[in-house]
Amino acid sequence: MKLGPHLYRIGNDIVAAYLVVADDGVTVVDAGLPGHWKDLVDELTSLGLSPADVKGVVLTHGDADHIGFAERLRRDHGVPVFVHAADAERARTGAKPKVAAGPMRLVPTLGFFAYALRKRAVPTTYVSEVVEVHDGEVLDLPGAPVVIGLPGHSPGSIAVHVPSADAVFVGDALTTRHVLTGREGLQPAPFTDDPAAALASLDRLAGVQASWVLPGHGAPWRGSPADVAAAVRAGAA
Ligand SMILES: [Zn+2]
């Protein structure tokens, strides 16, 4: 799905990943679930491109529903996979603390897990080699993505700002559709390691110039990143 001249989304409001398409190739932000491989190839094909045009995958964090086809791109196409150093172990092995899921409703929860199974979420294919990134880094990839540390959902959660795509990708630092309740609108994401830290980190988006705030789960949100922190706090259940 096209969001802008250089910006595409694959997946849906349950699980999404994004493509930044520039003259020098494609940067993929998050890798959804393994079954999104077909969606990736279909989107690239529709643009006259192929996996060989992908120069890098930037993971907003290391959770299983964001690393889906990353290892396949790395192993079969030599594409480097970037993740914050504090989430590198999570992306390589799945190591993470157990956290309470919080509120859930049956139908949206089943919908999330059914979709995950359909997209072959089990077993998880971890990323055997990653390139570690840090807060403030500008990556040498199409769109020159800027790393903004947003610890909370996980220690290595980041936002990825791509000025040429007019977008900031926020992973699960927030959501616009709670996968377990189905409630829509800006709000904190479930399965968050440290909810208070996650909310505090959102203040770091205040200075970001972009028209799109793009979460890993939920509809793309159009508006100023400066307004996000207050809106998510107001949307907390
Ligand atoms: Zn997620």
Residue whose C-alpha is closest to residue 1's, from 33, 34, 36, 25: 36
Ligand 1 centroid to Cα of residue 65, in Å, is 5
User: From CA 195, how far away is CA 174, in angstroms rounded?
Assistant: 10
Ligand 1 centroid to Cα of residue 60, in Å, is 9
Q: pLDDT tens, 63-104?
A: 999 999 999 999 999 999 999 999 999 999 998 877 777 888
Position 101 scores a pLDDT of 73
Ligand 1 centroid to Cα of residue 226, in Å, is 22
- Spatial contact of 173 and 198, defined as CB atoms under 8 Å apart: yes
Helix ranges, the chain (H): 37-46, 70-77, 88-93, 106-118, 195-201, 228-234
- Where the chain has pLDDT below 50, the residues are none
Position 121 scores a pLDDT of 85
Position 76 scores a pLDDT of 97
Position 138 scores a pLDDT of 98
Ligand 1 centroid to Cα of residue 25, in Å, is 26
Beta carbons within 10 angstroms of residue 34's beta carbon: 22
Position 88 scores a pLDDT of 97
Ligand 1 centroid to Cα of residue 172, in Å, is 6
DSSP at 116:
H
Position 60 scores a pLDDT of 98
Element (H, E) at 134: none
Ligand 1 centroid to Cα of residue 77, in Å, is 25
**Kindly report the CA angle at 156 between 23 and 110, in degrees rounded to 5?**
90
